[in-house]
Amino acid sequence: MEKDVAIVGVGMSKFGELWDKSLRDITLEAGMYAIFDAEVRGKDIDGIVIGNMSAGRFTGQEHLGTLAVDMGGLGNIPAYSVEAACASGGAAVRQAYMAIKSGEHDVMLVLGSEKMSDVNQSEAMNTVSVASDWEWEGMFGATFPALYAFMARRHMMEYGTTEEQLSLVTVKNHKNAQWNPWAQFQRPVPLEVVMNSGLVADPIRVLHSSPVTDGAAGLIMCSAERAKEFTDTPVWIVASEQASDTLALHDRRDITTMDAVVKSTRSALREAGLKIGDIDVFELHDSFTIGEIILTEDIGLIEKGKGGKLVEEGMTEIDGKYPVNPSGGLKARGHPVGATGVAQIVELVLQLRGDAEKRQVDGAEKALAVNIGGTGGTSIVHILGR
């Protein structure tokens, strides 16, 4: 018999260039905050899942599931480590969801973690690039800024999307992040500064791009039967879906559409018995600002080609019709690749609890997160409800 799945605790480390902390430090910090938030005892936790993209290349450490158990002093419980590029955090949440729903586990600690600043900028870029099709893209120098530049330029050509619209996503997300105590960049950025920042891969500029980030995020997830032991206000995972697309961008049906996102969102909405208009707040994967624009279209907030207009008209602001990335998103909260998918869920839990303070979306009852790997080769969608 399938079980309902609740989130009863959340925690995060600070995001940023954390020179004085190790991968071990930030992972432990996020996990302990989640445990304290749920007021769960260590002996109640019967499994751990950790999402991480590439700790071996960034820090030299693998075998992270066991590391997490060891750090937490949690004994001999099972531990699982999952990788799905930038969707590794979302994959960890989904693995725990399925384990609890099936009855295999009752109370699980879910972590996402990445320490990216222990290598130089070039090494970090090369490490992230292995999430593309290395043989056909990365080996020829097609970095992620270049691949997203292809997507952006095609979107501009077909639909008239402008560089100003790409920049307005940055302005919005930095404005939101100033109210997020865990965010890497807690300050607004004027439009003209964004539009005059250096080109990385035309038309993608430095301030259209997510930064190199260290950080970790954690959740306590459990079955409905156990949730009442820890909280009177659980947040429920009402849908969890995953889909895949081609790894290489050049093999896609349409490089301005992430078909995996379209498929996983439709499946999640169907599983939850909801329409996209029923969702009150969104966390969408904006590793580059064109990504947020494309995702607003692919999840069905607006027809294809008009995502730029959505941000231009203020519809994605915290007080807009479709609040997107009140956390500041990957652009301003930061993007420690293995942690991002868990951090999205942390933000949405806070929103649904009414605990997001100055970035709170009024009356939020339903929330949706899209966490993607690469240029959309993996898409993981979660819908949460109060």
Stretch(es) of the chain classified as CATH 3.40.47.10: 5-118+213-235, 121-210+237-385
CATH topology of domain 121-210+237-385: Peroxisomal Thiolase; Chain A, domain 1 (3.40.47)
Catalytically annotated residue among 86, 105, 155, 174: 86
Residue ranges of the chain whose pLDDT lies below 50: none
Residues in the chain: 386
Q: Are 178 and 187 in contact (CB under 8 A)?
A: yes
Any catalytic annotation for residue 86? yes
User: What secondary structure does DSSP assign to 93-138, as a single string?
Assistant: HHHHHHHHHHTS-SEEEEEEEEE-TTS-HHHHHHHHHTTS-TTTTG
* Helix axes 289-298 and 144-159, enclosed angle (nearest 10): 50
Catalytic residue, chosen from 155, 208, 335, 382, is 335
pLDDT digits (tens, 9 = 90+) for 264-323: 999 999 999 999 999 999 999 999 999 999 999 999 999 999 999 999 999 999 999 999
pLDDT digits (tens, 9 = 90+) for 95-118: 999 999 999 999 999 999 999 998
Task: Determine whether 222 is an active site residue.
Answer: no
Instruction: Look up the CATH superfamily of 5-118+213-235.
Output: Thiolase/Chalcone synthase (3.40.47.10)
